[in-house]
Amino acid sequence: MNSSKAQSSAINTANTALLSVQHLSWHADSQLILDDISFTIKKGSFTGILGPNGAGKSSLLRCLYRYVKPDSGSVQFNQQDIWQQYDAYQYAQDIAVVLQETPTHFNLTVHDVVALGLLPHKGLFTREQASDRLKIDCAIKQVGLADKNLQNFEHLSGGEKQRALIARAIVQTPSLLIMDEPTSHLDVRYQIQVIELAKSLGITVIASFHDLNLASAMCDQLLVLDKGKLVEQGSPQAVITSEMLSNVFGVCAQVSLHPQHKVPHISYFYGYDIKEKTAESRALPHV
Amino acid sequence: MFKVNHSGIIFLTLAFGVISFIASLSLGAADISFSDVITSLLASFSTDKDASEVIFYERIIWELRMPRAILAFLAGCGLAVSGLILQTVTRNPLADPYLFGISSGASLGVVISIVLLGSTISVITPVAAFAGSLVAMLMLLMISGRRQSQQVESMLLAGVALSFLFSSFTSLLLYHTDPQAVTAILFWTMGSFSRAQWSILWFPAVVIISCVIMMLAYRRQLNAMLLGDESATTLGINVNRFRLVMLVLSSLITATLVSLCGGIGFVGLMIPHIVRFFVSQGTVFGIMLTALVGGIFMIWVDVLSRVVLENQELPVGVITSALGSLFFLSLLYFRKNKA
């Protein structure tokens, strides 16, 4: 009885792992960018990728959304290798990506951009059906841009652009959403809004963050990269520690519990020399 | 309502296109009235042909002006669409069908055929032009196809370099040839529809219509390219391959047109911008409108080239550049004032 239970739970974990990365390494111009990285992403979870600038966050995400091919190791999505058992078109039906910068000098409307979410699901000569248009309109409404439907995408604010791109992802109907620093350049209100919007979709999300407090509050699982290596992974409680902050980010900080949400909350100390940090942080009282 | 508006605009543009077409049959050195044009157009479908005047008009209309007008329309469509493709896949608003050395390749082909083979007006010229532009296109593909990253940049730079390379060869050959050939070549490089004949029209028609159909089919991919290579990849597009296919398409259009009409500047660069001022470019509607506006613009340019000077024809390229840039500048000016 017990063993069968254990067995079924093992099958369960295997089934709930949506994405599994094994010993992934990648280098560019003879420089090792990602070094032997392994982790799994559970179905329905919200995973944050943290790390200082140049740690390899964007490169790791690129390996996940099939933009660059790793030199060694594998990325499996639904237990299938993304390079051997998927082509770009099939993969795009399952995975949507929201990137940081979307430069465009051309007159695309919000509606046009959101409609691109249909691309992986449409043949060359198929037209948009009434149901497709409904889907697009619903997605635009869902992200709160209904009144900007026919506006030029370029003229939107940073937060609105991100929301429009999330609407495109909604239309793409993926089972995994990948976002590369979705909150950079946004003010606090939009940062929270964009992440809550992504969470509200009810699908698996992987996003890279610079705001550690936001990541701590919003994510189920955190991965910390430093110089191309995966140095920490686990729940925010396990990962966000003053030790990690001084080792990886080189900052001196105190970690307490968020008064409302009971997640780790970081208070940074300013003007502390990193060399002295251990002594200083030890001297500081923990809450 | 959205949709009705779009089809309404396309319908109006088409109607204006038909009027422009008939007007271009009526205007020219021999003045044929609008009603005479209609009469002779209708007469050719009936059996009783009596009036000799009508037959004379008919010959002018059917054998001279109509193939010209059709070629002008096709050239305008083709160049505008080709410009739209290139601007989209390179994400460079300055991209133009002549930017990639295709027209300089064609010029070199023509100059070689005139100087070395001594053929001034013959079937060889368009063939030589086509061969020249194909050589330019293949060289560009070989250079830019190899480097996968930064493909756009290397493509643009290679195009400009090839352009200069071919121009220098052309100048060298011209320097050592007789002045008569120089005049012929100069007129050819400035563009003209005087070579239009029924027997050759099928060629540009097939190329341009099939390219427009392909563009309509790939409209979503083209739109996706505007948001960047990485974003397009995540939507399932093989970005480098797609860009090469589109480059080949637009080069084919350009090579075909350059070989028949010579170099006609401005249209490929500016018509997509003008249309983009008013409508979103990536829809079926935007692409069709770009093609139609390009074609209609060119019909009127051809009319002007025939009527501005008495008993003489102005090079088309001169008119497109002058007229088009003035129009574009005024558009920029008024938009700036409005904002």
Closest C-alpha to A169, from A160, A158, A179: A179
Q: A182 in helix, strand or coil?
A: coil
Cβ contact (<8 Å) for B231 and A107? no
Q: Which pLDDT score, from 0 to 100, does residue B241 have?
A: 85
CA dist A219 and A46 (Å) reads 5
> Could you report how far apart the first and last alpha carbons of chain B are, in Å?
27
Average pLDDT of the residues of chain A: 85
**Whether pLDDT at A2 is above 50:** no
Q: Which pLDDT score, from 0 to 100, does residue B148 have?
A: 57
Cβ contact (<8 Å) for A107 and B276? yes
Confidence of residue A5 (pLDDT cuts 50, 70, 90): very low
ipTM comes to: 0.82
**Whether pLDDT at A107 is above 60:** yes
Instruction: Say whether both A274 and A225 belong to one domain.
Output: no
Instruction: Say whether both A128 and A249 belong to one domain.
Output: no
DSSP conformation letters of B237-275: --HHHHHHHHHHHHHHHHHHHHHHH----SHHHHHHHHH
Pairing of strands A176-179, A204-208: parallel
> Could you report how far apart the first and last alpha carbons of chain A are, in Å?
45
Q: Which of A192, A208, A234 is the last residue of a domain?
A: A234
Mutate to test the interface with A, among B234, B287, B288 (most CBs of A within 10 A): B234
Q: How many domains in chain B? A: 1
Instruction: Say whether both A254 and A206 belong to one domain.
Output: no
- Do A203 and A179 touch, CB atoms closer than 8 A? no
**Whether pLDDT at A46 is above 80:** yes
Q: Which pLDDT score, from 0 to 100, does residue B121 have?
A: 56
Instruction: Say whether both A18 and A38 belong to one domain.
Output: yes
Neighbouring residues of B336: CB distance < 8 A, sequence distance ≥ 6: none
Q: Which pLDDT score, from 0 to 100, does residue B22 have?
A: 84
Give residue B72's domain range: 2-338
Instruction: Say whether both A198 and A62 belong to one domain.
Output: yes
Neighbouring residues of A92: CB distance < 8 A, sequence distance ≥ 6: A119, A120, A172, B234, B235, B236
Reported pTM: 0.83
Provide the CATH number for the domain around residue B13: 1.10.3470.10
Q: Which of A234, A250, A279 is the last residue of a domain?
A: A234
Instruction: Say whether both A199 and A262 belong to one domain.
Output: no
Instruction: Say whether both A140 and A274 belong to one domain.
Output: no
Instruction: Say whether both A124 and A263 belong to one domain.
Output: no
Q: Which pLDDT score, from 0 to 100, does residue B178 have?
A: 74
Q: Which tokens in the block code for residue A60? A: 């790791």
**Whether pLDDT at B291 is above 70:** yes
Shortest alpha-carbon distance between residue A92 and chain B (Å):
5
Cβ contact (<8 Å) for B236 and A108? no
pLDDT in tens, B233-249: 999 998 888 888 888 88
- The Cα-based distances of A78 to A68, A174, A176, B215, B310 in angstroms read 19, 13, 11, 35, 75
Instruction: Say whether both A27 and A152 belong to one domain.
Output: yes
Give residue A263's domain range: 241-287
Neighbouring residues of A143: CB distance < 8 A, sequence distance ≥ 6: A163, A164, A166, A167, A170, A197
- Work out the burial of residue B275: count CB atoms within 10 Å of its CB; fewer than 13 is exposed, 13-18 middle, 19 or more buried: buried
Q: How many domains in chain A? A: 2
Cβ contact (<8 Å) for A95 and B236? no
Residue, of B301 and B154, whose pLDDT is higher: B301
What is the mean pLDDT of the segment spanning B1-19?
76
Cβ contact (<8 Å) for A99 and B231? yes
Residues of B with CB below 8 A from A155's CB? none
Q: What is the dihedral of CA A182, A187, A189, A195, to 10 degrees?
A: 10
**Whether pLDDT at A285 is above 50:** no
CA dist B275 and B291 (Å) reads 10
Taking the Cβ of residue A126 and every Cβ of chain B, the question of whether any pair is shorter than 8 Å is answered with no
Closest C-alpha to A41, from A16, A59, A12: A16
- Do B216 and A96 touch, CB atoms closer than 8 A? no
Taking the Cβ of residue A100 and every Cβ of chain B, the question of whether any pair is shorter than 8 Å is answered with no
Q: A178 in helix, strand or coil?
A: strand
Cβ contact (<8 Å) for A92 and B230? no
CA dist B330 and B328 (Å) reads 5
Instruction: Say whether both A223 and A145 belong to one domain.
Output: yes
Q: Which of A218, A234, A250 is the last residue of a domain?
A: A234
Residue, of A241 and B309, whose pLDDT is higher: A241
Q: Which pLDDT score, from 0 to 100, does residue B293 have?
A: 93
Instruction: Say whether both A184 and A253 belong to one domain.
Output: no
- Work out the burial of residue A75: count CB atoms within 10 Å of its CB; fewer than 13 is exposed, 13-18 middle, 19 or more buried: buried
CA-nearest residue of chain B to A99? B231
Instruction: Say whether both A227 and A256 belong to one domain.
Output: no
CA dist A22 and A8 (Å) reads 23
Of A77-81, B133-137, B325-329, the least confident: B325-329
Confidence of residue B51 (pLDDT cuts 50, 70, 90): low
Provide the CATH number for the domain around residue A69: 3.40.50.300
pLDDT in tens, A165-216: 999 999 999 999 999 998 888 888 888 988 998 999 889 999 999 999 999 9
- Work out the burial of residue B142: count CB atoms within 10 Å of its CB; fewer than 13 is exposed, 13-18 middle, 19 or more buried: exposed
